[in-house]
Chains A and B, each alone.
Chain A
């Protein structure tokens, strides 16, 4: 036994290694037991504190001490006192092991599993349950048995070893060395530095993973190689000699290598190389511990570069500052000259100011003048700026829109044009102002006769540079013009119809006369008479049109005056009319006073004929038409009266307008709408007057006067 003890002491490391080995085997067994023993932990709450408890519970379980579990849980429960209502350790058979609550209970316990149950209070109460299945007690017994067995085996093994050592001491020493190396290697495996172990010749026996990582040479590739594979020209031959001399002397060398990786990349290494000695002190191996310092090298190189750059910059700035100081001195001088100049300029400016004030006054005066002109224009005027805000509204425009200019200045046209459609028209023409857009609009009134039509024309105001600065809108009353336009259009369609009717008869009957040879003589004569009458009617129509165009042109009639008797004229007009209109009765009333007139007989007959024709056209068949003549206040007064459809006041007001027809919709009643205009013109050209009176649906009376010849002693 003393020999054995001695051996064990001698081979301390060896025996410790065996012991650790056995411990590892026991641990593996324990882990296996643990796996078999199915320890489940259900954590339903992911609270970090509970994780801590879980680990602690294992510790407790490993020790087989449930009081640790209990106390840890209690400790945790106290920490969360506010939220924990109740905490229980419950065995799987339902037995309560311990309880954290107001009243505490302790129980005897020997069971295979426990539950931990606690109530967690956060407004609502949560129940979280932990279920742990503990190691079977028999298993632990088995475990202890196996452990003891293993320990015995280990001792037996050590004993056997001792015998082996005794038999071959050299073998024992070698084994001891192998163990040492293995241990060392395990520590160098993890090293953050590259570690290389060579034999005395420098051939690599071992490299750690870091070495492979740095250089790219794997363990297999490195072993047997010389570290020369990494060599570059950076380190001189002398440096290498120095290295070898140092380490062969058994001392440690320290220095930097500039090496090459397997992929050709270069890197800096800080290396410590030293010998490994055996017990006798003789060198067995060399070990190199190396750190990659490429990054640090680069950083220091760059720093040096920056430092140099900075020095240059500082020199440059210093020079610039010196130059600027010199410039500033010069500028000061220049400023002084400028101040002198400015004093002179001020006087000039004052003079200019005076001149400008004078000009401004002139401008104001002319502005007033222009304002005055614009305001007194006959047309309505609205001036707006480029934002369509009102700048000026003249009196007429005020009246048109029933507005007050003062309230509108600076406001948009929206503020006084209520009619959406009209506003839209304004907006469109504002947008189109450059082309001088214009449009008609109507301002309606309750009284139809007071409704007016205006033509708005928008044009742009240009400044000197050709930029539009505003808009001028002129509003012209075109009611009369538009009415005349309308009448003209109506006249054209009416006269076309009027001209067509006689033409139809003329064309039709003449065609029949030409093509039909079998017509009776009586029919032939009748047709020819039709043709004659209709051509006469055509002629009259054309005369009317000519008369009107003369009136239009302002030429009027050229009178061929002769002395005439008024009575004779009336008789003559009536007799020719009786022939034409056989469906009406005519009556004539002439005073005994002979009216001597100095007139153009044909024209007066034309006027009378027009009046009679109207009376016939606008009164039903069978009615009586009265024509009368009398002298009154130096005039001969002629009147035509019928009991026909009559006229409204509106119609009477328009009766003398050219192209006006009392009932334009009734196109069947022939007429050009020129008759009364012609009559009025004829009467007025003779110095007379004409008047129309009527009652709608009942009667119409047209009266005109012709001045009598002044009797000069005749």
Chain B
């Protein structure tokens, strides 16, 4: 069973993403900030991480993704950003970090699940 980690500081969004993913059998983990995300990722080694950018705490989503992609242990995890930051420059930064996808809020759950399934297949 594929493991997916959902990182968002808002519980509604975490729930929304989880419900969105419920069409298939995934082992789902949740984190509410960057530090927590890294902790879980290192422990569980998820296949895919859906990451918010603007979160409280020392590490925002972009920084957390950068750390994960630079770590031998977690660099294989696919990262998809899901954020309110919709500027071109933010999207470029996300791609540069090594994300497989970038969704701007408000997003379409259908599109998200398509992207997740497609990413996990390859």
Give the interface of A toward B (CB within 8 A). Answer: 496-497, 500-501, 503-509, 511-512, 515, 523, 527, 530, 534, 666-669
Contact between chains at B9 and A668 (CB < 8 Å): yes
Within residues 1 to 45 of chain B, which ones have a CB less than 8 A from any CB in chain A? 9-10, 12-13, 15-16, 19-20
- Docked pose: A113 CA to B115 CA in angstroms: 122
Cβ-defined partner of B108 (8 Å) among A496, A503, A505, A511: A511
What are the residues of chain A within 8 A of B108 when measuring CB–CB?
507-508, 511
Contact between chains at A496 and B9 (CB < 8 Å): no
Contact between chains at B105 and A509 (CB < 8 Å): no
Cβ-defined partner of A505 (8 Å) among B13, B57, B85, B110: B13
- Docked pose: A666 CA to B105 CA in angstroms: 19
Within residues 68 to 118 of chain B, which ones have a CB less than 8 A from any CB in chain A? 84-85, 105-110
Query: B67 in the interface, Cβ–Cβ < 8 Å?
Result: no
What are the residues of chain B within 8 A of A512 when measuring CB–CB?
16, 19-20, 109
What are the residues of chain A within 8 A of B106 when measuring CB–CB?
500, 503-504, 506-508
Chain A to chain B: the 5 pairs with minimum beta-carbon distance, closest first: A668-B56, A507-B106, A504-B105, A504-B106, A500-B84
Contact between chains at A505 and B12 (CB < 8 Å): yes
A-B contacts, 23 of them at CB < 8 A, read: A496-B84, A497-B54, A500-B84, A500-B105, A501-B10, A501-B84, A503-B105, A504-B13, A504-B16, A504-B107, A505-B12, A506-B106, A507-B107, A508-B20, A508-B106, A509-B19, A511-B110, A512-B19, A530-B15, A668-B54, A668-B56, A668-B57, A669-B56
Contact between chains at B56 and A504 (CB < 8 Å): no
Contact between chains at B105 and A501 (CB < 8 Å): yes
- Docked pose: A94 CA to B106 CA in angstroms: 125
What are the residues of chain B within 8 A of A503 when measuring CB–CB?
105-106
- Docked pose: A507 CA to B19 CA in angstroms: 14
Smallest CB separation, B52 vs chain A (Å): 9
What are the residues of chain B within 8 A of A509 when measuring CB–CB?
16, 19
Cβ-defined partner of A508 (8 Å) among B54, B55, B109: B109
What are the residues of chain A within 8 A of B9 when measuring CB–CB?
668
**Which residue from chain B places its CB closest to the CB of A503 in the assembled complex?**
B106
Contact between chains at B84 and A508 (CB < 8 Å): no
Main SS of chain A's interface residues? helix
- Docked pose: A69 CA to B107 CA in angstroms: 128
Smallest CB separation, A645 vs chain B (Å): 12
What are the residues of chain A within 8 A of B19 when measuring CB–CB?
509, 512, 523, 527
**Given that A496-B84, A530-B12, A668-B9 are known contacts, is A508 also in contact with B107, CB under 8 Å in the complex?**
yes
- Docked pose: A267 CA to B91 CA in angstroms: 105
- Docked pose: A530 CA to B84 CA in angstroms: 18
What are the residues of chain B within 8 A of A669 when measuring CB–CB?
56
Smallest CB separation, A370 vs chain B (Å): 52
Smallest CB separation, A661 vs chain B (Å): 13
Smallest CB separation, A620 vs chain B (Å): 12
Smallest CB separation, B10 vs chain A (Å): 6
Smallest CB separation, B90 vs chain A (Å): 11
- Docked pose: A496 CA to B12 CA in angstroms: 18
- Docked pose: A614 CA to B111 CA in angstroms: 36
Size range of the chain B interface in the assembly: 20 to 34
- Docked pose: A500 CA to B103 CA in angstroms: 13
Smallest CB separation, A308 vs chain B (Å): 98
What are the residues of chain A within 8 A of B85 when measuring CB–CB?
497
- Docked pose: A666 CA to B106 CA in angstroms: 21
- Docked pose: A668 CA to B106 CA in angstroms: 16
**Which residue from chain A places its CB closest to the CB of B54 in the assembled complex?**
A667
- Docked pose: A534 CA to B106 CA in angstroms: 13
- Docked pose: A509 CA to B55 CA in angstroms: 21
What are the residues of chain A within 8 A of B55 when measuring CB–CB?
668
- Docked pose: A545 CA to B51 CA in angstroms: 30
Smallest CB separation, B106 vs chain A (Å): 4
What are the residues of chain B within 8 A of A496 when measuring CB–CB?
84
Smallest CB separation, B53 vs chain A (Å): 10
What are the residues of chain B within 8 A of A501 when measuring CB–CB?
10, 13, 84, 105
What are the residues of chain B within 8 A of A515 when measuring CB–CB?
109-110
Smallest CB separation, A427 vs chain B (Å): 34
What are the residues of chain A within 8 A of B107 when measuring CB–CB?
504, 507-508
**Which residue from chain B places its CB closest to the CB of A505 in the assembled complex?**
B12
What are the residues of chain A within 8 A of B54 when measuring CB–CB?
497, 667-668
What are the residues of chain A within 8 A of B20 when measuring CB–CB?
508, 512
Smallest CB separation, B14 vs chain A (Å): 11
Contact between chains at B84 and A505 (CB < 8 Å): no
Most buried by B among A503, A504, A507, A669: A504
Smallest CB separation, A290 vs chain B (Å): 109
- Docked pose: A504 CA to B83 CA in angstroms: 10
**Which residue from chain B places its CB closest to the CB of A511 in the assembled complex?**
B109
What are the residues of chain A within 8 A of B110 when measuring CB–CB?
511, 515
What are the residues of chain B within 8 A of A497 when measuring CB–CB?
54, 84-85
- Docked pose: A669 CA to B15 CA in angstroms: 19
Cβ-defined partner of A534 (8 Å) among B12, B56, B57: B12
Smallest CB separation, A256 vs chain B (Å): 109
Most buried by A among B55, B57, B105, B108: B105
Smallest CB separation, A583 vs chain B (Å): 12
- Docked pose: A228 CA to B54 CA in angstroms: 127
**Which residue from chain B places its CB closest to the CB of A534 in the assembled complex?**
B12
- Docked pose: A527 CA to B57 CA in angstroms: 28
Contact between chains at B16 and A666 (CB < 8 Å): no
- Docked pose: A534 CA to B105 CA in angstroms: 14
What are the residues of chain B within 8 A of A504 when measuring CB–CB?
13, 16, 84, 105-107
- Docked pose: A667 CA to B85 CA in angstroms: 11
Most buried by A among B13, B106, B109: B106
- Docked pose: A666 CA to B54 CA in angstroms: 9
Contact between chains at A666 and B84 (CB < 8 Å): no
Smallest CB separation, A433 vs chain B (Å): 36
- Docked pose: A666 CA to B12 CA in angstroms: 20
**Which residue from chain A places its CB closest to the CB of B87 in the assembled complex?**
A493
**Which residue from chain B places its CB closest to the CB of A668 in the assembled complex?**
B56
- Docked pose: A523 CA to B109 CA in angstroms: 16
Smallest CB separation, A630 vs chain B (Å): 35
Smallest CB separation, A505 vs chain B (Å): 5
- Further 14 A-B residue pairs, CB within 8 A, beyond A500-B106, A504-B84, A504-B107: A497-B85, A501-B105, A503-B105, A504-B105, A505-B12, A507-B106, A508-B20, A509-B16, A512-B19, A527-B19, A530-B12, A668-B55, A668-B56, A669-B56
- Docked pose: A575 CA to B107 CA in angstroms: 35
Smallest CB separation, B37 vs chain A (Å): 14
What are the residues of chain B within 8 A of A511 when measuring CB–CB?
108-110
- Docked pose: A159 CA to B16 CA in angstroms: 160
**Which residue from chain B places its CB closest to the CB of A507 in the assembled complex?**
B106
What are the residues of chain A within 8 A of B15 when measuring CB–CB?
530
What are the residues of chain B within 8 A of A500 when measuring CB–CB?
84, 105-106
